[in-house]
Chain A
């Protein structure tokens, strides 16, 4: 065995400091490796799985045996590991650095959560096992539900919704059920302009007319305009608190009282609960229903776009209408699963089932692990540090970027900036793409819609002061380039695995599945 330098230490050649940017024969650039599609490298006859032998048995497929090829390439295990490892390295992730996507709460995902979710007692149980064989699983649901109720000061909880938008749907269905139960046909849901797109989409999906509520110049709901619109046709309002401008709706209790007075209900979008967990209970502000994104506040991983989980907490008025199934503790201490057959005795007003089985169990175990790790004191600290970090970013950047609500007071968990003051022809998009070259995922851009060229920065509580300072330094540098009109920003990112992608082409001629290149097809036909 010898060292590859044969005992001769390498040293840089004298003229090698500025290396020319040439194309390599592979397209790779050292550790940045290009990777083809599985359809280009795999083979229908290759496999990475050894199967048990099938016993001899006559086919009972009813004459429906598949005849044609499916077209599924296989890879050996080694190739599979390499393919996905290479792909993974083309992703930005929380594990690599600060991920300041506003309203998405990209906090650290603790690995204990992953370990607990994989205990066979949780990961390897069937949803329809007899109830007495899954008491521990029901206990997880019950215990997590209890935490969510106590943290929000509400009366009940529905655990089955699969994500935030699904939770919104759950809340709106409960509102509509409650209204129907009293014979009240209301047709309008009021939604502030700054709301997440899911809010109006959800309300419309259930058949409500959606009307905008204007915001005041300070970024909060115009309470007088809202009150003026209330009436016998308004089923409820959907309010995000803290709102998507990163501000606490300080008049929420006044709004709730007015909505209740007018016979409606208050839905709170809890996407931003991370800012206030342990600091205020939405139940004390008159909220009737609120979904909680376990994948935001309670640290379950975002996974490149899910799975999420969106339990909904309810006030006394709406709790009876919550969807099936739910877990109930009986007198003997055993946990029962209330499903269709037992609902008559226990829960006759439930609006029914929203999903097969019982919701995102794998996310419940992770979220409960997170909550137990923090405890009541740790969760309070989470909110305080999240808000502290956001205000630190706000005050460290407001001299270089326009902060439309900065002068009015502190923000909550996210800092909002606009594109006001950038050089002509320079936009929020340029700043976002410039940040990529600096090694950061961009913040949320062009949302909320109420601010021109919005940039919404949510650092979360799991970032250190040093990490924040590095991010602030990068933001300042990119913002100054955009203000000075540095043309290289227009073509950023320069150093990412890909340059800017042609989204227009993708939408005009959608290529959604891989097809054999024409030349190869012709060859195969010969």
Chain B
């Protein structure tokens, strides 16, 4: 067995050193009636690399690969080109096979990277500080709601109708157990988000308003008035960004006054991966830093006065505070944070702005082409790289039919909101730099045919 270095001879000599006659002498604490004496029946035995590879490749080949077809899906997971050096660097064993940096003297590589990541994320989101990552955007969003409860000592969260339905789902699951009240309704097919309506719902019990930017339908709206209204009522504004590339073109939520900004960082460096692992981004205003969940990396000096980095403010965390911790999170998403950070470093400000510009221009081009199709209406008055089309019939069946023609043509609102009949004709279309003009034309032509 190729991963196990002990030989039979090693095993016997080690048992002799230990003073045990047989390996089962070391397992005497497992009650005999429950102890298994041989391999579990009905499961295959060990296999060489080639056999395993054959099996896994056979499974992989049953999936339609996004990069092989015209691809226009988003809704919380975006396909961007990841430069070759990103994947090369994250596979360096010193990053890949390191642990959480509890021994800072021999973990400066991870720690400095996290400090750089925190700074990049804070600047991108427009926040004073950011943490060293969360599991993903959806769990970061829930953690932000919990943080707002701790800060405001109120327990009613107002969720915008444009918040990703899975993020809403996670919050609903958790709120049922923590006693938070959530105010939420499904979106309506309007060109703009209902900021005024949201403001009207803020009251003295509101802990936070959670708003996605751009929202699930791709709409972008100024959050400044919402931030002011929330803060005037003693509540916090939490902004959720599922497409960080958008912030290369759009004003950041922090700039518009958001108190906490969370996001999904998957777009940069991480790839689609069928939904995970991803990387949650979490930033906030300086004054709330001690209520933040998750790991934080901070600058300090060593005994010789050299700059170095350590995990810090761990008195918020479970391994110190146990049942009084700000969250139960231990492992986060370090390697995905590294991928995000490397990709962001390769881009730099110029590259990120350029990438955002290409994304927006491709999306505008696609929207203009698609809305020419008879019966198809473009919903959004504004958008970044994702917009909603209203089709003349059920979008879910169209998406399936497009997939049969080897086109992954967006995410139907029927998939996201199965219980909302009013939304059934909605189709959310994302267009990134990975799409070509030919892809757009193929999508449009096939959609035209299917709707004819």
The answer, yes or no, to whether B422 is at the interface (CB within 8 Å) is no
Chain A residues near B108 (CB, 8 Å)?
87, 90-91, 497-498
- Which B13-44 residues have a C-beta within 8 angstroms of A? 13-15, 17-20, 23, 25-31, 34-36, 38-40, 42-44
Chain A residues near B188 (CB, 8 Å)?
none
The answer, yes or no, to whether B229 is at the interface (CB within 8 Å) is no
Chain B residues near A60 (CB, 8 Å)?
360, 364, 367, 380-383
Q: Which residue among A304, A505, A513 has the maximum number of chain B CB atoms within 10 Å of its CB?
A: A304
**Interface pick from A6-14, A224-232, A305-313:** A305-313
The answer, yes or no, to whether B196 is at the interface (CB within 8 Å) is no
20 CB < 8 A contacts A-B? A37-B112, A46-B350, A48-B345, A51-B433, A54-B361, A60-B360, A94-B97, A121-B62, A124-B67, A127-B274, A201-B318, A207-B178, A248-B27, A278-B39, A306-B334, A339-B418, A353-B173, A377-B45, A388-B23, A499-B105
Taking a contact as CB atoms under 8 Å apart, the answer to whether B419 and A301 are in contact is no
Closest 8 CB pairs of A and B: A74-B348, A121-B60, A357-B275, A62-B382, A303-B335, A95-B93, A136-B62, A127-B275
Taking a contact as CB atoms under 8 Å apart, the answer to whether B106 and A360 are in contact is no
Taking a contact as CB atoms under 8 Å apart, the answer to whether A55 and B348 are in contact is no
Kindly supply a per-residue 1/0 record for chain B positions 187-204, scoring 1 wherever the CB is within 8 Å of any chain A CB and 0 otherwise.
000000000000000000
Contact size class for A?
35 or more
Q: Which residue of A lies closest to B352 (CB)?
A: A72
- Tell me the smallest distance from the CB of A300 to a CB of chain B, in Å: 9
- Which A101-156 residues have a C-beta within 8 angstroms of B? 101, 104, 106-110, 112, 114-116, 118-130, 132-137, 139-140, 143, 147, 150-151
* Given A38-B116, A197-B325, A340-B418, A72-B94 contact (CB < 8 Å): no
Rounded to whole angstroms, the CA-CA distance of A47 and B349 in the bound complex is 8
**Among A94, A166, A306, A353, contact of B133 (Cβ-Cβ < 8 Å):** A306
- Which B200-235 residues have a C-beta within 8 angstroms of A? 220-222
Q: Which residue among B119, B342, B433 has the maximum number of chain A CB atoms within 10 Å of its CB?
A: B119
Kindly supply a per-residue 1/0 record for chain B positions 103-121, scoring 1 wherever the CB is within 8 Å of any chain A CB and 0 otherwise.
1111111101101101110
The answer, yes or no, to whether A66 is at the interface (CB within 8 Å) is yes
Q: Which residue of B lies closest to A88 (CB)?
A: B94
Taking a contact as CB atoms under 8 Å apart, the answer to whether B349 and A74 are in contact is yes
**Among B314, B348, B353, B400, contact of A132 (Cβ-Cβ < 8 Å):** B400
Taking a contact as CB atoms under 8 Å apart, the answer to whether B323 and A461 are in contact is no
The answer, yes or no, to whether A475 is at the interface (CB within 8 Å) is no
The answer, yes or no, to whether B167 is at the interface (CB within 8 Å) is yes
The answer, yes or no, to whether B299 is at the interface (CB within 8 Å) is yes
Rounded to whole angstroms, the CA-CA distance of A387 and B289 in the bound complex is 43
**Among B83, B110, B173, contact of A352 (Cβ-Cβ < 8 Å):** B173
Q: Which residue of B lies closest to A173 (CB)?
A: B177
* Given A464-B6, A500-B302, A360-B351 contact (CB < 8 Å): no
**Among A65, A280, A284, contact of B251 (Cβ-Cβ < 8 Å):** A65
Taking a contact as CB atoms under 8 Å apart, the answer to whether A37 and B30 are in contact is no
Taking a contact as CB atoms under 8 Å apart, the answer to whether B43 and A500 are in contact is no
- Which A176-235 residues have a C-beta within 8 angstroms of B? 176, 196-198, 200-207, 210
Taking a contact as CB atoms under 8 Å apart, the answer to whether B56 and A369 are in contact is yes
**Among B109, B170, B251, contact of A354 (Cβ-Cβ < 8 Å):** B170
Rounded to whole angstroms, the CA-CA distance of A59 and B365 in the bound complex is 10
Q: Which residue among A136, A323, A379 has the maximum number of chain B CB atoms within 10 Å of its CB?
A: A136
Taking a contact as CB atoms under 8 Å apart, the answer to whether B112 and A514 are in contact is no
Rounded to whole angstroms, the CA-CA distance of A49 and B328 in the bound complex is 38
The answer, yes or no, to whether A260 is at the interface (CB within 8 Å) is no
Rounded to whole angstroms, the CA-CA distance of A526 and B289 in the bound complex is 33
Rounded to whole angstroms, the CA-CA distance of A140 and B250 in the bound complex is 39
**Interface pick from A77-85, A419-427, A481-489:** A77-85
**Among B34, B36, B360, contact of A278 (Cβ-Cβ < 8 Å):** B36
The answer, yes or no, to whether B186 is at the interface (CB within 8 Å) is no
Taking a contact as CB atoms under 8 Å apart, the answer to whether A55 and B334 are in contact is no
Q: Which residue of B lies closest to A373 (CB)?
A: B52
Taking a contact as CB atoms under 8 Å apart, the answer to whether A205 and B178 are in contact is yes
The answer, yes or no, to whether A264 is at the interface (CB within 8 Å) is no
